Structures are given as C-alpha cells and as structure tokens.
Chain A
C-alpha cells in the first residue's frame, strides 16, 4: 500500500502543476490553429496572474480576480492580434514584446500599488480558491484502492482544476463539432479558402486570439489564486514556454495536449519528489535533468526523430489576398 500512496501523492501533485500548463497550452491551441503563432503565452499568463492577485486582494473575491485576469490577458492578446493580424507584423517579435511588457509591468504596478516588492498582498478566505471535495469523498476514503484514488486523487482539487480538465473535451468539441471550430481550423491551414467562402479572415483570427487571452487569463488566475495565495514576481517561471512545448509535442491536438501537459507535469512533480533519492543502477538523477526533459523531448520531436510535428500550414504568416 505504501507504493500506492506514494504514487497517489505523486499523481496528485502532477495534476496540481499540470493545470496551468493545460490551460495555457489550450490557449495556444486556439491561437495557433487559426494561424497566429504565440510565444507570448508566458506574458499573458503572468499579466493574468497579477490582475487576479491584485483584484482579489482588493475586492476579496476570487471570481472577480479571475474576471480581471481574463480582461488583462485578453487585452494583451489583442495587442498581439493588432500587431500580427492588422499590422501584419512579425508574430514572433510581437510575442517576445508581450512577454517583456508583462514581466516589467506586473512588478512596477505591483510595487506601486501594494509596496511589497512586486508581490500582491497574501490572500485568504474568499479572495482565494480552496479545494473542494467531491460527494462521498469522506465516506469512500476507507475503501481500498478505489477509495484512495477517488478521495485523494480525483477529489480535493480547486474548481479551476475541474474547469481546466473539462475544457479539454470542450475544446475538442468546439474545434471539431462547431462552425467556429471548423472555420478556425480552416483559417490556420488555408485562409484563402475561408476568404473565398465569404468569411472574414481577420475577424476569425481576432476571435481565436481572444479565446487564447481568456484561457491564459484563467491559467494566470490559477497560479495566483489557487496554487498560491497571491501574486509573486515572475511566478509563471517559464510555464508559458513549457505549455508551448506541450502544444507542439501534442501536435496541436486538444486531447494530446492534455496528455503532454500531464507528462510534463509529471516530470516536474517527479523531479521534486526524487530530489536526493538514488535510483538503482542510475544513481541520483539531477533534478535539473528532469526539468530540462520536456524541452529536450520537444526538440527531439521537432527534429523528426519521433514522429513529425507539422504546424498549421498558414501559421506565422499574415494573410494577404493573392494577386
């Protein structure tokens, strides 16, 4: 039973760290599937985390915090949209810019408003999310195996966690079962086909970018309102880029995105867990190796050694009517 308990603890923390990855990677999926590459997930997430922390601290409401996070992240997404859709600028350059603006602005504004060295005030009570127990979690706790899994693994997460996981099938449904999804996928592959079908390429891409903003906002709110109690300077710590890696690793498919994020989250959880432990034959695995593994795996995939990651065909290029 000890092994099962260890495993459950490990998986539980895997879920905890995977949630922001899933949200951010799904966000990137909407944008990139529409043909707008986004390396600014990190910045939007950070901006969202700050807005959530700040508004929750002031209003005392976690949900208002989430709303604020969405507003800020969507605003940043619209800047990216304006640069890359309307101005037809370089999408990579724009994404880099968003990351810097968010990194700087969150600290400057945080310091100016709260005077705590770039942090927002610690949250408590209704200003942050608490975990919720699924029905009968307490009653089932003692049932062997099933109880442990239900009570300790499936139950006891934040509302946002359940939302994040629900968003995976939802995104799949949107993408493959709705008109919006059909058009979104089409515009990322061949905007000419969308244009000649009488649909506005620009408006469609803006909507995709807004979806991206909403999800990165929720991802940011999770960081500052659920995972921790308040915003801390630079708290995304590269999660936006891991999410980007996961998105590529999952070949821009929603369900695969969830698995990729869980895998990368698992590696993260495992690296913390294994610190100081020795493995048979291998000896102690440096924690840094585990941290670098998602990136290494993504590079290996990109190099075409394990399958091929083919991005949406029209990705990265602004739409100009053919002459």
Chain B
C-alpha cells in the first residue's frame, strides 16, 4: 500500500493542432484534498478527463494505488474507484434522482431489486455524509446545488475512493459553495481522496492540502497549501509574461458614449450571469473588463449588443436608451453607431463557409452601398472587401476564398475591418486576439489604440490579463457576474489576479 492514490507520469495529449497537456506529472496523496488551479484553457479538465478515461492520453502512464492502470474508458475508472463530477452535470434531466444514481450500476437486468438496494444504500450515504436529497425528485426540478449533490452521490454509490470535481462552484451561490466545502471536508475525514479543479484561489486556500498549478497545458508547480500564498499562486497561474509593448499616449476621455446601469442577465439555463452591473465608457477611452472566462463577460457583451435579452437594467448609447430588456435589434444598434466584435468569431462573427467578401458585409447587408434594390451589388461588395483586405493586411488578399481557409489572425482581421471601418461611436470587443498568431496580435492592438485616438468609446473584454493591461485606460474586474473592482492598468498583475479569483476588493488592495 502506497500513500499515493493517483500518480500521473508524462501525460501528453493533443487535439488536432491544440496541445492540451504537455508531459504532465502529478502525485495525489491519499486522504487529501488536492487542488488543481489554472486559467481557462490551461488543460485542467482535459487532464482529469484522461484520468477518468473519457479521453485517452497520447503518451504517459496512470498509476492508481501504485499500480500502472490502463484506463481505456469510464467503466474502468469507476472499477478502480475513481468518480468524477463534471462541470456540466452528466445527469438525465427528466429522470428521478434514484434513476440517475442507478444508471450504469443497476445490479442485474431487472430493476426492481436494484431499486430497493439503491434506496437503502442511498439512505446510508445520506446519513454518513449528510447529503440529503429526495430520491424520487425529478432532476430538472431541483436547484443546481442539489443536482450537484446527486452527482456526488452517484460517484459515492459506485464506491468512489477518489473523487474529481471539475469547477464545482461555477454554478453555485456562495452559501451553496460553503456547504459543498463542508461536504468535501467530511468526505476527506472519511478517508476519501479529492481532486478539486478550480480557477478560484480562495477555494484553494480554504480547503486544499496541496495544490498543483497548470499553465498553458503544463504543470508548472505543486505546493503544500499551508506553505504557499495567494500571491505566489496567482503569479504561478498567470506566469511572468512578456508584456506586449503597445505604444500608446495618454487618453483623452470625452463625454459618456455608452452607459450601463444595474444590468442583470440570465443565461439560457436561467442562471444569472450578469448581476447588477453598471459602467460607463467615454469617447476616446478603452475600458477593459478583466476576469476569468465564465464570470458574466460574454453575457454582458451580448446584452449590450442586443443579442441576448437582459432581465433588468438600462443601457444608453449616445445618450439614447437601448431596449435591452425588450426587443433590442442588433441591426438598429449598428445604425446608431455600435460596432460589435464578438467573442466567438467562428459562430457569430463569421460564417466560415462564406467567401471572405460575403463575411465583410455580415450585419451590414442592408447598407445601400452593397445593394442595387433587392440585389447584392457583388462588384461593389468585392471591391470594398478588397480595399479592407489591403488596409488590414488580410492575407491571402483573395476576397473569394472561403473564410474557413484563413488563419485565425486573418479571420479576426476580417471581423475588425468590417466593424471598424464603419466609423462607429462605440465599439464593444470580445477576446480580440483569441487564437490569433503573434504577428496579427500586434496589428490588432495597434488598430484598437488608433480607434481610441480617433475618439471612439471602446469596451474591451479579454481573459488575457496582459492584453487588458496593455490596452486599457481603466480596468474593471468581473467575478461571479459582478464588477468587483476598478483599477488603473498600472496595477500589478498579482492584485488583478486576486480580484479575478474572487478575493474581495479591500483584501486585494492590501
């Protein structure tokens, strides 16, 4: 018997061209809570999915209880006593709690006897771990916190000794999160091993025994939680990046162009994502919104752009209100001087199967410049697109090439050219350089600064902290749907990182 529950040796995994995990080594000691922290896209979930057998590693070994194990599927992981609570719950929503718990562990072809046994076992688990839940309740009628409890019970029912939780507090209220941590502590006291994936430093500090930090697919450090500090972890997580040098003079803020007051937005599942957010953007300034992905930034942009209906709140553009809680029309907003570079250029900003020229008019297809009555003026559209290609150095400069065949950077330039060449008053930009090559990043940053200097009001959302810091004139940090603080871009990364990780304003400033 070793006291190492899980050991990963040299795990390597690529998805196509994306190198998600590079030569990862990790040891998780038995009976501990081991945190894995890292920014979004650092490869945490992929690594845990490999441990759970959901994906297979390209290289590397997994040792469970000191024995090399080939986990070729979740059923093997379950056999080895590994359970996982996924970020997006793997529950059948119109099933009862009991049915969900039994699924895959029915014990026999006919359910009747299994049901009775499951009911008893569930009762026992409930008592042992204080995890009450009505076994006959329908999942979709339960609050998220209870749904998560069902996921945990599911793993325990299968006899899990090692429990992986992937961003478990993402969907929970603070009270629910606290309750979850009590449950985890209880499980640990019973001898279970817990791996907790999160991007929130506070959680790591509050509950883990050891913590491993991942950055861009690599495991950069493992620390004993008691011997480390929030500052050290934040730095490890974000890394000392070479600050991209962007030449920019001082801002000359003018009047308020975009004003947001008490905006609340729910996502498609009805979970509130933006909570009572207020902000102003003035002409000639860039307001950066920093934050870990999933803290409401996407919904904020979408609500302002009229794509997602807000629940409450007021937004004005150039002093005139936008009907964000009703029928705000993205088309009309464009006419009123709002340009939108969406976060997700593959699904929103571009139609990848269109020719470049066709994408260069998306959203502006009503512009008389591109039309001859009902017909598209193809000549004019292509000439206009060619001109933009030249001005934005879009390569190859072939306006009839399918957009999917352009590189990420050039795709983004297509969007930028379309949105910026319109002389808008306000530009909202999401993740301007996600998946963009270094050469294009510099170009895109320069353009954004130029637009600022031309007097545009710019709201910039990015999960890249250095991008926010080098472009913005003011930095807002979003966490859990709230704007939790405003800082100047000169503020240190550590302090911003703490805010992003949910440490309160005052604590972070200290």
Interface residues of A (CB under 8 A from B): 177-183, 185-186, 189-190, 192-199, 313, 321-323
Contact = CB atoms under 8 A, between A and B. Distances in A.
Given A193-B100, A197-B74, A198-B73, A185 B92 contact: yes
A180 B109 contact: yes
A179 B111 contact: yes
Nearest to A186: B92
Given A182-B99, A199-B75, A323-B15, A189 B110 contact: no
Contacts of B53: 198
Nearest to A198: B75
Interface stretch (B82-90, B265-273, B448-456): B82-90
A199 B93 CA distance: 18
A185 B54 CA distance: 21
Contacts of A181: 111
B93 A196 contact: no
Contacts of A186: 92, 95, 99, 103
Interface in B348-364: none
Contact of A193 (B52, B90, B112): B90
Given A185-B92, A185-B95, A193-B90, A177 B111 contact: yes
Contact of B103 (A194, A313, A322): A194
B78 interface: yes
Contacts of B417: none
- Secondary structure dominating the interface of A: helix
A321 B95 contact: no
Contacts of B76: 198
Nearest to B115: A177
Contacts of B55: 321
B108 interface: yes
B49 to A, nearest CB: 9
A193 to B, nearest CB: 4
B201 to A, nearest CB: 26
B69 interface: no
A193 B103 contact: yes
Given A194-B103, A196-B86, A196-B90, A182 B111 contact: yes
A198 B110 contact: no
Interface in B53-105: 53-55, 73-78, 84, 86, 88, 90-95, 99-100, 102-105
A199 B111 contact: no
Contacts of B77: 198
Contacts of A196: 52, 54, 74, 84, 86, 90
Nearest to A181: B111
A189 B108 contact: no
A171 to B, nearest CB: 15
B280 interface: no
B16 to A, nearest CB: 10
B466 interface: no
B217 to A, nearest CB: 14
Interface string B188-222: 00000000000000000000000000000000000
Nearest to A188: B92
Contacts of B99: 182, 186
26 contacts: A177-B111, A178-B110, A179-B106, A179-B108, A179-B109, A182-B106, A182-B111, A185-B95, A186-B99, A186-B103, A189-B93, A190-B90, A190-B92, A193-B103, A197-B78, A197-B90, A197-B103, A197-B104, A197-B105, A198-B73, A198-B76, A198-B77, A199-B104, A313-B93, A321-B54, A322-B88
Nearest to B78: A198
Contacts of A193: 90-92, 100, 103
A204 B329 CA distance: 45
A178 B99 CA distance: 11
A177 B115 CA distance: 10
Contacts of A180: 109
Given A196-B86, A313-B93, 16 more contacts: A177-B112, A179-B108, A179-B109, A182-B103, A183-B104, A189-B93, A189-B95, A190-B93, A197-B90, A197-B103, A197-B105, A198-B75, A198-B77, A199-B75, A321-B55, A323-B15
Nearest to A314: B92
Contacts of A189: 92-95
A168 to B, nearest CB: 19
Contacts of A177: 110-112
A183 B103 contact: yes
Given A182-B99, A199-B75, A323-B15, A194 B104 contact: yes
Contacts of B110: 177-179
B109 A178 contact: yes
B139 to A, nearest CB: 10
Given A179-B110, A179-B111, A186-B95, A192 B74 contact: no
A177 to B, nearest CB: 5
Nearest to B89: A193
A32 B383 CA distance: 50
Contacts of B108: 179
Interface in B16-74: 52-55, 73-74
Contacts of B73: 198
B62 to A, nearest CB: 16
A189 B95 CA distance: 9
A198 B109 CA distance: 16
Nearest to A195: B74
